[in-house]
Amino acid sequence: MDSHGQYEQRVVWAVVGTGIGPLLLAATREGLVNVVFHATGEVRDKALERLASRLGTRPVENPGSPLLAEAIRQVEAYFAGARRDFELPLDWSLISGFHREVLRELAAGVPFGSVVGYGTLAGRVGQPGAAQAVGMAMGANPLPVVVPCHRVVESDGGIGGFGGGLEAKRHLLALEGVLPEPLF
């Protein structure tokens, strides 16, 4: 507690190696708050600075904290093909409004091994003409992989964009059996 009897915000983080490169996982007392792709060197440092600015406290590296240890275990199991769903508390404080609504629907309504079109997802949240806005929500997703924005594709069969890069999106969709594994 701080001097006013309030609980201080505590943010812990760790980096976990995956089949798509290192992911930074960050958590608050509420739950997992951020997943960042390509989390080495400057990318990691900038992500931690952004978190400090947005959450009002400097993140502390602590892979042994209970929530992070469980998140690491689940991420590793997912990439090993031994887990289909993440069962982690999530802190949605880095996103709000329409973006949060879309991401919550994505997390709850698009299971492992399936995909959904941007327009279809827009319709599910009552905004049938908002496919482009859904794309923006995917790009703003603070919890990629765990909140599976890689499962959102174009209605014409195109793969669409992805913050972690198209190769990472293809890898995730292949891991889930949606796309064939690349030959090389």
Q: Which residues are catalytic?
A: 149
Query: Cα(133)–Cα(18) distance, rounded to whole angstroms?
Result: 29
Characterise 18 by phi-psi region: left (phi > 0), alpha (psi -120 to 50), beta (else). Answer: beta
Residue 177 has phi, psi (to 5 degrees) of 80, 10
- C-alpha closest to that of 111 among 168, 161, 178: 178
d(CA 77, CA 18): 10
CB burial of residue 165 (10 Å; 0-12, 13-18, 19+): middle
Q: Round to the nearest angstrom and report the end-to-end CA distance of the chain.
A: 53
